[in-house]
């Protein structure tokens, strides 16, 4: 269960398939940012030993995903390069509270929601790519099949960490608020072939 307050527009996958190079470049940046977000929590909360091992494992796994997506870009004759940041994650995280420990709870929930939306969209891409004619597209579909299971697991891990540090009713209430905020940001995002755009 991904705890998202909205389902993606079905037309998103058509825009993604029309520019797979752009989607893969965006995806590579996302995996790199997911690793950085986990490491950032390790640096920010040395007083929370419970976070260290799971977030270290998660950061390593995201870097393996980053390498897998770099390889997929290479196979298509495309390469990694700079990219202008999409507004999504910044807008999601801007409502995080600044005072501790609320800041930690909001950081964990924002990461959980980003993982959930990535998993949802990887599922849409996977279905479309596995049904495609060409073998390169189907190979990419198999890559997404593997990755989406990991991102759904990361979603659950961030919520489990939140529930181990905060009372469950508090986590549930804040998850509900931030999930509605995430859905509103996405409904207002630019129409552009990116993972967290419309
Ligand atoms: Fe990942
Ligand atoms: Fe992830």
Per-residue pLDDT reduced to its tens digit, 144-158: 999 999 999 999 999
Lowest mean pLDDT among 30-39, 53-62, 80-89, 108-117: 80-89
Ligand 2 centroid to Cα of residue 125, in Å, is: 16
Ligand 2 centroid to Cα of residue 195, in Å, is: 13
Ligand 1 centroid to Cα of residue 100, in Å, is: 27
pLDDT in tens, 163-174: 999 999 999 999
For 171, residues 6+ apart whose C-beta sits below 8 A from its C-beta are 105, 109, 159, 162, 163
Per-residue pLDDT at 168: 98
Which ligand lies nearest to the CA atom of residue 61 in the structure? 1
Ligand 1 centroid to Cα of residue 39, in Å, is: 14
Per-residue pLDDT at 85: 84
Whole-number Å distance between alpha carbons of 180 and 183: 5
User: Is a pLDDT exceeding 90 seen at residue 71?
Assistant: yes
Per-residue pLDDT at 98: 96
Per-residue pLDDT at 104: 98
Left if phi > 0, otherwise alpha if psi is -120 to 50, otherwise beta: which for 134?
Answer: beta
For ligand 1, an ion, list residues with CB under 5 A.
Answer: 31, 62, 65
User: Is a pLDDT exceeding 90 seen at residue 110?
Assistant: yes
Ligand 2 centroid to Cα of residue 31, in Å, is: 7
Per-residue pLDDT at 10: 87
Ligand 1 centroid to Cα of residue 64, in Å, is: 8
Per-residue pLDDT at 79: 92
pTM of the predicted model as reported, rounded to 2 decimal places: 0.96
Which ligand lies nearest to the CA atom of residue 115 in the structure? 2
Per-residue pLDDT at 105: 98
Most confident of 1-15, 46-60, 137-151: 46-60
Per-residue pLDDT at 192: 87
Q: Kindly list the distances between the CA atom of residue 177 and the CA atoms of 80, 87, 183, 184, in Å, as whole numbers in the listed order.
A: 35, 19, 10, 11
Q: What is the mean pLDDT of residues 62-74?
A: 97
Ligand 1 centroid to Cα of residue 126, in Å, is: 15
Q: What is the mean pLDDT of residues 41-60?
A: 98
Ligand 2 centroid to Cα of residue 15, in Å, is: 23
């Amino acid at each position: 269960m991904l705890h998202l307050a909205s389902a993606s527009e079905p037309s998103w996958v058509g825009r993604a398939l029309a520019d797979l190079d752009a989607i893969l470049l965006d995806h590579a940046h996302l995996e790199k940012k997911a690793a950085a977000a986990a490491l950032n929590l390790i640096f920010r909360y040395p007083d929370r030993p419970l976070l260290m091992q799971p977030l270290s494992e998660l950061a390593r796994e995201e870097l393996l995903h980053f390498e897998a997506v770099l390889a997929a870009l290479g196979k298509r004759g495309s390469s990694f390069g700079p990219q202008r940041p999409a507004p999504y994650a910044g807008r999601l995280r801007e409502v995080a509270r600044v005072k501790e420990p609320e800041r930690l709870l909001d950081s964990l929930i924002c990461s959980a929601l980003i993982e959930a939306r990535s998993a949802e969209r990887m599922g849409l891409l996977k279905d479309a790519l596995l049904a495609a004619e060409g073998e390169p597209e189907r190979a990419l579909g198999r890559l997404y099949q593997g990755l989406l299971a990991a991102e759904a697991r990361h979603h659950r891990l961030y919520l489990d960490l939140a529930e181990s540090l905060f009372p469950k009713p508090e986590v549930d209430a804040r998850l509900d608020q931030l999930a509605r905020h995430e859905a509103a940001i996405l409904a207002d995002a630019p129409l552009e072939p990116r993972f967290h755009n419309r």
